[in-house]
Amino acid sequence: MKLLSYSFFEPKSMPQHRSWDKYKNEIDRYYYNVPAVVLTNYLLYPDYTIQIYMTPNVRENPLSKVFDILGEYNLNINVVHIDYEFTEPSIFRMIPLWRDDVSVFHTRDIDSLPTLVEYQYIKCFEKHDKGVGTIRTHPTHYGGGCRMLAGLSSFKPRLVPDYIKSETFMDYFDRNHGRYGCDQDLMVQTFTTDHSYTKRHFCDCMSYEQHNTQDFPCYTCSLEELSSIEIINWPLRIFQKIEQCGFNNWSGEPIDCRGTYLDFILEIFPSICANMQQDIHLRDFYKVG
């Protein structure tokens, strides 16, 4: 099984440190892109399941009805009953690393759309014999806490031994420091510090405005390798539209794609649009109908 793995939770406080995120103070921001992300992934990666790990309190929000409407489009929801204070639930998207039925998965952020480079990298990573990888596309995605991006990383569970990842998910989870950014800090600490492992099994990708090689030994996915991936049919149409909408600045960029891009996607899935129109909360929030 192949997965695109997401975490979804109701924020208990808003992260003021996210200077790159103009939506950081908007309480429902993580709902902005849900239908577009699910349906875009459905078209780009028809052989993947879109896995979302969510906290129980999500169902208290009337906007959560959108998950039920999208359920038939390769979407799978798991509710995780672990209490939290800050962003600890963002670690839940790592659960597939301990699943025997998963051959490859990629951690992603629900507040951003996939970019062309992400698509190319996923196809390249599938072909490689590497167990771990990441994409770095922003100028700050380098060194220290940005060696690896929590929402832009890839894994092949069978190629990541227990001495690297921990024996169980809870062993891994319990090592987080419980502050903002705990998911990424834990990931960097776990997967980039054993250089004998990274040299053989880590696949890095740098693109857009990031030009610095990693500060640890690893394999680097070349521009030629990325460019060898053919972009036709739905991927071509989708990435042209993402470019037209101005959402192709860097991978993982927080956006609000309601409007032109969501309208484009919903034209392809008229039954989803009709179901959203029947719910007053979704109709108003997503501006459909």
Domain parsing of the chain, residue ranges:
2-286
The region of weakest confidence among 2-16, 66-80, 198-212, 251-265 is: 2-16
Max mean pLDDT among 7-16, 26-35, 219-228 falls in 219-228
> pTM for the complete prediction?
0.95
Residue 113 has pLDDT above 60, yes or no: yes
pLDDT tens-digit profile of 117-172? 999 999 999 999 999 999 999 999 999 899 999 999 999 999 999 999 999 999 99
pLDDT at res. 248:
95
Per-chain mean pLDDT for the chain? 94
Residue 90: phi and psi, rounded to 5, are -60, -20
Domain range 2-286, CATH architecture: Alpha-Beta Complex (3.90)
- Confidence band for 18, pLDDT divided at 50, 70 and 90: low
Contact of 85 with 227, CB cutoff 8 Å: no
Please give the share of the chain, as a percent, with pLDDT higher than 90.
Answer: 90
- Confidence band for 27, pLDDT divided at 50, 70 and 90: confident
The DSSP symbol for 2 reads: E
pLDDT tens-digit profile of 188-223? 999 999 999 999 999 999 999 999 999 999 999 999
Mean pLDDT confidence for 253-263: 97
Half-sphere exposure of 224 (CA within 13 A, CB side): 0
Residue 46 has pLDDT above 90, yes or no: yes
Q: Which residues pair with 5 in a beta bridge?
A: 51, 107
pLDDT at res. 145:
93
pLDDT at res. 25:
66
Q: How far is CA 199 from the centre of its chain?
A: 25
In DSSP notation, 273-288 reads HHHHHTSHHHHHHHT-
pLDDT at res. 12:
72
Residue 78 has pLDDT above 90, yes or no: yes
Residue 195: phi and psi, rounded to 5, are -70, -25
pLDDT at res. 133:
98
CB burial of 121-154 (b: ≥16 within 10 Å; e: otherwise) equals: bbbbbeebebbbbbbbbbeebbeeeebbbbbbbb
Mean pLDDT confidence for 263-280: 98
Contact of 256 with 33, CB cutoff 8 Å: yes
Strand arrangement of the beta sheet that strand 202-206 belongs to: 75-79, 49-54, 2-8, 104-108, 152-155, 132-136, 202-206, 219-220
